[in-house]
Amino acid sequence: MTVSVRTFDDGAWVSVDNERVVGVSELWRLSGFCPCEVGDVMLEAFVEADSTDEEVKASAVGRCIACGESGSMGWLTVGRLVDGEFRRTDPNEVQSHTAEP
Amino acid sequence: MPSDVEQWKDEIYGTDIRAHIERFAEEGWESIPDDETGAWFERFKWYGLYHQRAGQESYFMMRIGPPGGVLKPGQFRTMAEIAREFSTGPAENPIFGNGWLDVTTRQAIQLHWINLEDVPEIFERLEASGLSTIQACGDSWRNIVGCPVAGKDRHEFVDAETLADDLHDAFKGNSEHSNLPRKWKVSVTGCREGCGQGDINDLAFEPAEREVDGEAVRGYNVRVGGGLARNEPRFAKEIDVFVTPEEAVDVAAGISALFRDHGDRENRYNARIKFLMDEWGPEKFRRVLQDDYVDFELPSAGEDLRSEYSYNAGTTHGHGDHVGVHEQRDGDNYVGLNVLVGRIGADEALELADVADEYGSGEVRLTQRQNVILTDVPDENVDELLAEPVLEHYSPDPDAFQRGSIACTGTEFCSLSIVETKNRQVRYSRWLTENVSLPADVEDFHIHLSGCTASCAQPQIADVSLRGMKTRKDGEPVEAFDIGLAGGLGERPQFAQWVRQRVPADEVPGAIEHLVETYVAEREGEETFREFARDMDEEELAALCEPKETSYEDGFLHNTKRTWYPYAEDDDLDASPAPTNPDDTPVSADD
Ligand code: HEM
Ligand code: SF4
Ligand SMILES: [Zn+2]
């Protein structure tokens, strides 16, 4: 099943099949983004979005509210596709920050 | 690779969009194919229609931009009537009710909760009144801003009203300039005070004088590349060009074409001309303009008036706004009225239109501080006008905090926002008015609140700048603000210094209280806040605004983004009635 994934509203949202599903300005738990062991990163804008058969990924710019580090980050998993249905990732689930997209 | 937006614009853009809007309006919201919404919403912006945020599908914000903020007699009434009839939503705002107009920091009016089906009729009414939404949003010439009292002002040096109108006529609907890489914001200043805010625009015309063929000629110096958004604020740079009022449109066309051809169309975050200016610098910019885009010799800059600039200059002799009764050049008066956070109820707007007709010429002007001005009031009418009940709320003599407060759209309607803005700013200003006192010589204290780094409320040029953020308080995510201090314009403009990060929204009034009390206690003579703060370093500034909980209670601390409308009784996203029919009933309910 392929879905159509893109950023929307000047980077404010990731849309899946033209529905806005994940928005900016939430706090995500990320390791590797900043000096914190697990950063508490507020996403400010999505830059790119993509999907595989199982996952919807996005890259974003953000800022860690614990240490203040800001900048762009690599792919985050913002949701999973289960039987073609989108389920958003819990932002409290710790993700490791991968290389720049 | 060109961005999605560039591909959509290549297919259909500019005036060609109109017929499609008419068609979708005729066939109804649901006729927009699901997989084309991104493309169509992007294009609709060119006609001043901005799709509202998640949970408010099928509703649009509509922006109407009169050049220089000048609304001719009758035009403000037309907009108030449209607001009353069409700009109502499925839930009330607890402070503002349902049906209002927002005056914006770029001298436009925004209406919300507009249904697509109603747009053709609204367009017809606007056009019959001489108004239009063309290029109010989108990648093109936006509303041309300027001195809000151009043509009337005793401090006028050149006629900015005529140039703003000429530019509007030349570039609205002009297919050569309708598809630019990004928004294009232009300002025309004609007065000695600098109230056109040219420094923060992509292209600025600033009053100047120069000798041309042995004669002193009044005209404009040109600056390029200002803007505030995305943590990359820039003041416009002098490009060492003087234009006469007659040549200004041609030079503007050259600069706009240069941006059209050389601006970055691959990365929208890098597209504004400020980034091209970073790359090229003013000398190369001028050279390319001269060589490729104008066919006469550009004179070097004339003598400017910047040393006289007093608008938002943070000096004791300066003026921060146009509020109050002021004499015009022709002996009549203009009366500036304070509009807290720019929002005017539709019924009150009709009352304002009535008093403008009765005591003045009927003209209403919009300022870059989200206020309105009634012009052409003869001396003998002033007292009666001031006694009108509607001026109690929209006051020519407001409290300093009410007077200085500006707020952007925020999570109420805006997708990008991190925090609730307008209702909160109203509550902040009320709390400050009740709990904090300023000396009588401080007539206005500028607090600008923006919901995100796009900076639509121009936070960087205020005494106190608030920019939406998130933080955790007792483990829970809460809405918060970064606090910046001591920004402003004038001869030497200066952006606020960000000195406090992520202050929970309920601790902001306490921080401002502390700051004002320290300022009042320690200032010398009648020092303005900007003068007081001028020699302080970041640490000293931060010490001024210690966050603190107070009696202020914040109604919107927890993630207004996750609601469909932050003030609805059941605000859960799943409870949203959208998408809806024009009568606000859910689309699915009637078929
Ligand atoms: C639905 C609400 C709004 C949205 C989605 C929105 C969107 C944006 C965006 C994306 C930017 C950044 C542009 C860039 O990349 O340079 C921006 C900047 C700006 N907008 Fe808005 N805006 C909204 C409302 C307003 C309002 C109410 C005004 C007042 C007319 C306004 C005036 C401005 C100004 C002054 C700036 C920043 C200055 C600059 O960079 O030139 N916007 N807006
Ligand atoms: S500053 Fe941000 S939140 Fe406020 S209106 Fe502009 S884009 Fe929206
Ligand atoms: Zn961190």
Task: Name chain A contacts of B34, Cβ cutoff 8 Å.
Answer: 17-18
C-alpha span between B345 and B351 (Å, rounded)? 10
Instruction: Judge contact between B160 and B119, C-beta under 8 A.
Output: no
Task: Name chain A contacts of B468, Cβ cutoff 8 Å.
Answer: 25
Find, among B580, B591, B589, the residue nearest to B117 by Cα: B580
Q: Give B54 Cα–ligand 2 centroid separation in angstroms.
A: 15
Instruction: Judge contact between B476 and B482, C-beta under 8 A.
Output: no
Residues of chain B with pLDDT under 50: 590-591
A8/B418 Cβ within 8 A: no
* Pocket of ligand 1, beta carbon within 6 A: A 10; B 50, 61, 104-106, 108, 110, 185, 227-230, 272, 408-409, 413-416, 454-456, 458
Instruction: Judge contact between B558 and B470, C-beta under 8 A.
Output: no
Q: Where are the domains of chain B?
A: 4-128, 150-308, 324-392, 402-558
B133 lines ligand 2 (CB under 6 A): no
Could you list the residue range(s) of the whole structural domain that residue A30 is in?
A: 5-82
* Residue B585 vs residues B53, B90, B115: alpha-carbon distances, Å: 18, 8, 12
C-alpha span between B93 and B155 (Å, rounded)? 40
Is the four-CA dihedral B519, B520, B521, B524 of positive or negative sign? positive
Which residue(s) pair with B466 in the sheet? Answer: B449, B483
Q: Specify the long-range contacts of residues B15-22, CB closer than 8 Å, at least 24 apart.
A: B15/B134, B15/B173, B15/B175, B15/B178, B17/B43, B17/B44, B17/B46, B17/B47, B18/B47, B21/B47, B21/B49, B21/B116, B21/B119, B21/B120, B22/B120
pLDDT in tens, A37-68: 999 999 999 999 999 888 999 999 999 999 98
Paired sense of beta strands B364-366 and A19-23, if any: unpaired
Q: Give the CA angle between residues B62, B64, B70 to the nearest 5°.
A: 160
Neighbours of A66 (CB within 10 A): 18
Q: What is the pLDDT of residue B591?
A: 45
Alpha helices by DSSP H, B413-546 = 422-435, 508-522, 529-533, 538-544
B502/A25 Cβ within 8 A: no
DSSP run (H or E) holding A58: strand A55-64
Q: What's the topology of domain B4-128?
A: Sulfite Reductase Hemoprotein; domain 2 (3.90.480)
Q: What is the pLDDT of residue B526?
A: 93
Q: What is the pLDDT of residue B35?
A: 87
B417/A25 Cβ within 8 A: yes
Instruction: Judge contact between B186 and B251, C-beta under 8 A.
Output: no
pLDDT in tens, B279-290: 999 999 999 999
Task: Name chain A contacts of B477, Cβ cutoff 8 Å.
Answer: 26-27
Residue A33 maps to a domain: yes
Choose the closest CB to B38 out of A6, A44, A65: A6
Q: How confident is the model at residue A1 (pLDDT cuts 50, 70, 90)?
A: low
Paired sense of beta strands B203-212 and B303-304, if any: antiparallel
Task: Name chain A contacts of B472, Cβ cutoff 8 Å.
Answer: 27, 40, 65
pLDDT in tens, B379-437: 999 999 999 999 999 999 999 999 999 999 999 999 999 999 999 999 999 999 999 99
Q: What's the topology of domain B402-558?
A: Sulfite Reductase Hemoprotein; domain 1 (3.30.413)
Residue A100 maps to a domain: no
Name the domain count of chain A: 1
- Who wins on pLDDT, A4 or B490? B490
Q: Give the CA angle between residues A94, A95, A99 to the nearest 5°.
A: 155
A20/B416 Cβ within 8 A: no
Instruction: Name the CATH architecture for the domain at B150-308.
Output: 2-Layer Sandwich (3.30)
| B493 Cβ contact list (under 8 Å, min separation 6) | B199, B235, B461
Residue A89 maps to a domain: no
Could you tell me which CATH number the domain at B324-392 has? Answer: 3.30.70.3340
Residue A29 corresponds to which tokens in the numbers above? Answer: 């738990």
Task: Name chain B contacts of A25, Cβ cutoff 8 Å.
Answer: 417-418, 452, 468, 470, 561
Closest residue by Cα to atom 9, ligand 1, is B454
Residue A96 maps to a domain: no
A82, with CB counted inside 10 A (0-12, 13-18, 19+), is exposed
φ, ψ dihedrals at B175, nearest 5°: -65, -25
C-alpha span between B263 and B274 (Å, rounded)? 10
Q: Looking at residue B289, what DSSP letter applies?
A: I
User: Do B402-558 and B150-308 fall under one CATH topology?
Assistant: yes
Which residue(s) pair with B283 in the sheet? Answer: none
Q: Which amino acid is at B402?
A: Q
Q: What is the pLDDT of residue B258?
A: 98
C-alpha span between B371 and A81 (Å, rounded)? 49
Residue A57 maps to a domain: yes
Instruction: Judge contact between B510 and B436, C-beta under 8 A.
Output: no
How far is A27 from chain B, CA to nearest CA, in Å?
7
B453/A17 Cβ within 8 A: no
Rounded to 10 deg, the angle between the B273-288 and B248-262 helix axes is 120
Residue A87 maps to a domain: no
Q: What is the pLDDT of residue A98?
A: 62
Q: What is the pLDDT of residue A18?
A: 84
Q: What is the pLDDT of residue B231?
A: 85
C-alpha span between B342 and B426 (Å, rounded)? 10
Nearest C-alpha in B relative to A26: B470
Residue B275 corresponds to which tokens in the numbers above? Answer: 């980034």
B415 lines ligand 2 (CB under 6 A): no
B471/A17 Cβ within 8 A: no
Choose the closest CB to B561 out of A18, A23, A63: A23
B409 lines ligand 2 (CB under 6 A): yes
Q: What is the pLDDT of residue A84?
A: 80
Nearest atom within ligand 1 for CA of residue B143:
30
